[in-house]
Structure 1
Amino acid sequence: MMCRVGSVVAPFCVYLADVWIYLPQLIVGILAFIIGVLTLLLPETLGEPLTSTMEEAEALGQKPAKNKQAEEGVELNQTKA
């Protein structure tokens, strides 16, 4: 959804150069920096199996419970190829 919003708003950013010549580049640079910082909050998925349900996707970033096979009926796909 945000890609669609960005594609609609992007052509109008060119007109911001009339206000200040560096304003479009500054906006894009600040947004890229914020996105880069927010990416650090995503969970690591290296070596993890692909999820097939929303429950598995939600449990992906959480730490596993100790001494429990499955928590509330949610089981992760443990097959490794």
Structure 2
Amino acid sequence: MEVFKQHCQIAEEYHEVKKEIALLEERKKELLAKFEQAEKEKLDAAQLAREYEALAEENRTLKLAQSQCIEQLEKLRIQYQKRQGSS
């Protein structure tokens, strides 16, 4: 009879441990999902930072080209006005 009681107690403890393991495994899945999401967001942020830098550089290049075009246009206007004045 004593062996049976011990067996029942051990079986009960076993089920409790299995239940705790299942809860811990579920928590592990949740934490892994959060970690993966954080990693993805980190990669997305890095990608956005690279894109921002590329666009900022393109913007600088375009502004430089614009200022050079404005300069050229002004020189051409001056040349045109000189030609108009001498004609």
Smaller-chain TM-score bracket: 0.3 to 0.5
**Normalised TM-score (structure 1):** 0.35
Higher Cα Rg, which structure: 2
Could you say which structure has the greater relative contact order, defined with CA pairs below 8 angstroms and 6 or more residues apart?
1
Larger helix percent: 2
